[in-house]
Each structure stands twice: as structure tokens, then as C-alpha cells.
Amino acid sequence: MRVGDMVRRPGLTFESPEDFASLDAPLFRGRFWHRELRRGLVVHASDVFEDAGFTALSSQHEGLSCIFFLDGDVDVEIGGRGFHFTGEGRLREGLLLPSVRAESFRRHSPGRQRIRHLVVSATPEWLDRDGLASVDDRSVVNAALGAHLEGRRWRAGRRLTDLVDRMMRLGGSPGGLDQLLVESAAVEIVAEALASATGQDAPAPEARRDLSPRDRARLRRAADFIRADASARPSVEAIAREAGMSPSSLQRLFRAAYGVSVLELIRRVRLERARDALAAGECTIQEAAFMAGYSGSANFATAFKRHFRELPSQVAKP
């Protein structure tokens, strides 16, 4: 990202002690991504090298943030309250930060350094609709969520470290199977954070299972095959042959890894591709329906609303 890119970002004020000769001067280099996984569940992450120190001022939305730093040294001020984040190459802890209203946000980076960080954010609407669905005693959780800017740090165990690592590796992927893995990791991270803040046990995810390297390699071959041929809706048998296993073994592995059947995952991949095309203005709603495997726009709209919680007409460019 260049200095001019930061200066022109809406809702953000950029300051730096450096005397940049041009707005085209590099500010940081590497991977930086921001994605809404579901409506109200957002991931923001970076693996970059900053070429200069700078300060960015913007705003923090209402909701819950789970913040992790793996590398770097950054000071953040939210609503006048200061937080210091540092990382030394591996994850040591996370910060759960609830906010009951929008607040000012100030981030200061002192100078040249590598930054690796991850933020999983959830709106109150997502928490009420999805995030707290399996919580037995909501009063305890609501009390924690109502503690405005009362940051709670918790030690990173093996499971949390694995989840953050998964999101850092796959979070920049455009969609499909990788996005499903990232989404499930984000949901688990929120559950782990709330469990730590309230002393309750995190609910066990339906599809949790430690996969062997061989299983992971097979899943990767299957995933690559589906991505390459999702528009043709490949059969379970064809995918299983490509992955080097029987159809029944493939189904079991998919349910263990993703929590859904092979065909359901293909359906989601096609829906996500159709949504991306609509959002980019590359097709009409009828064309998107055909792309997703639906003969009519009515059934497509129903499936689209069920999956994304919004209608195709709300996504399509006018």
C-alpha cells in the first residue's frame, strides 16, 4: 500500500513524521485483507512490512473484537483508552474488546517493522443471531459484552493458536472451500473468547477433528478439483477419484473437516461465485442464477437469502 492509498481511504486520517516525497511512496508491503465472512462477522488481518512509522485515525464500530498480534509493536487508543500490542513471532495471547457504542480509534506504529495481526469482529446483530445460539446462560455473556472497552486478555492455547494460524494462512483466499474454513475458525475464535471472558466452556464445534497430513493432502486435491470444475457440478465419484479415495471416505472426510456434505459444499462454492459476479457487476441476476445451478431466479433468490441473509437484488450493481 502506498501513502496515497492511505490518504485517500474514506473515514481515515493519516499522519506521519516522515517527509514523503510523493504520494506514490510505499508505506507498507505484503498481504492485507478485510472480508465480511457472514453479515456482521468480519475478519481484518495483515502480514506486512511497514516502511515508515505513521498514525491512523478513524472510528471503532459497536460490537465485539478479538485481537491477536503475532509480530510488531503498535499502540492503539479507542475512545481515549490505550492498548499496547506486541508480538515476537508467535501468538501468546488474545484480547477480547467489547464496545457498546462507536468510538474514536487511533493507531500508532513507531517505525520500520514487520506486522502480523488478526482481528475478528462481530456486530451485536450477529452475536444475537448466531454467536450466542449455543450459550446456556446469556446473562453472564451479556454482562461481559456490556463492559464497554474493558479489554480482557487470555492466554493462547494450542487450539486458539491453530485457529489463528488457519485464518492467517487462508484469510486472503477469494472464497469457496478456504472461506468456509476461515468462517468456521472465526466462529470458534469468538466462542473461545467468550468462554474465556465468562468462565464457561466453549461449545465443541460439530466438525472438529485433527486431520492427518495425508487427509489434508486429499482434501486439498479435492478442493482444487472442485474449484476448477464447480461450474460443471462434478460428481462425488469424480472428486473421490481425483483425491484418491472412495466416495464414502470422501463424504466422511468432508463432514469431519467442513461439517457439510460434498454436494452442499459445491452448492456453496457456486453461490459464492455467483455473489462475487453480481457484486462486481459482471452478470444479471438471471445469469447469476444459472451460474449457481438454478434454472429460475426465484429458487436462486431463496437459496441466496438463506445463505447470505440478503437478496441478490441487494448485492447486484445497478
Residue in this structure with the C-alpha cell 460443471, named with its chain if needed: 232
* Residues 194 and 223 occupy one common structural domain: no
* Residues 228 and 301 occupy one common structural domain: yes
Cα distance between residue 177 and residue 144, in whole Å:
33
Residue 188 domain flag? yes
Cα distance between residue 211 and residue 209, in whole Å:
6
* Residues 280 and 182 occupy one common structural domain: no
pLDDT score, position 206: 43
* Residues 114 and 236 occupy one common structural domain: no
Distances (CA, A) of 225 to 132, 215, 291: 35, 15, 17
Cβ neighbors of 213 (< 8 A, separation 6 or more) are none
Mean pLDDT of the chain: 85
Cα distance between residue 145 and residue 157, in whole Å:
22
pLDDT score, position 270: 85
Cα distance between residue 261 and residue 263, in whole Å:
6
* Domain closes at, from 198, 226, 246: 198
Confidence of residue 229 (pLDDT cuts 50, 70, 90): low
* Domain closes at, from 169, 198, 227: 198
The string of pLDDT tens digits covering residues 243-265 is 999 888 888 888 877 777 888 87
* pLDDT above 70: residue 61: yes
Residue 310 domain flag? yes
* Residues 234 and 286 occupy one common structural domain: yes
* Residues 152 and 278 occupy one common structural domain: no
Q: Which three cell numbers stand for residue 32?
A: 492485507
pLDDT score, position 204: 46
pTM of the predicted model as reported, rounded to 2 decimal places: 0.69
Residue 205 domain flag? no
Residue 203 domain flag? no
Residue 68 domain flag? yes
pLDDT score, position 220: 81
pLDDT score, position 116: 96
* Residues 229 and 89 occupy one common structural domain: no
Residue 186 domain flag? yes
Domain of 236, in residue numbers:
213-315
What would the mean pLDDT of 173-183 be, rounded to a whole number? 69
Write the CATH number for 278. 1.10.10.60
Write the CATH number for 178. 2.60.120.10
* Residues 112 and 146 occupy one common structural domain: yes
Indicate the number of domains in the chain: 2
Nearest residue to 293 (alpha-carbon basis) of 234, 241, 247, 237 = 234
Report percent pLDDT > 70 for the chain.
91
What would the mean pLDDT of 169-175 be, rounded to a whole number? 71
pLDDT score, position 205: 47
* Residues 116 and 259 occupy one common structural domain: no
* Residues 34 and 154 occupy one common structural domain: yes
* Residues 17 and 75 occupy one common structural domain: yes
The string of pLDDT tens digits covering residues 97-150 is 999 999 999 999 998 999 999 999 999 988 887 777 656 667 777 888 889 999
Residue 207 domain flag? no
Distances (CA, A) of 191 to 106, 169, 232, 308: 27, 20, 37, 21
Confidence of residue 45 (pLDDT cuts 50, 70, 90): very high
* Domain closes at, from 168, 198, 228: 198
Residue 208 domain flag? no
* pLDDT above 80: residue 173: no
* Residues 227 and 162 occupy one common structural domain: no
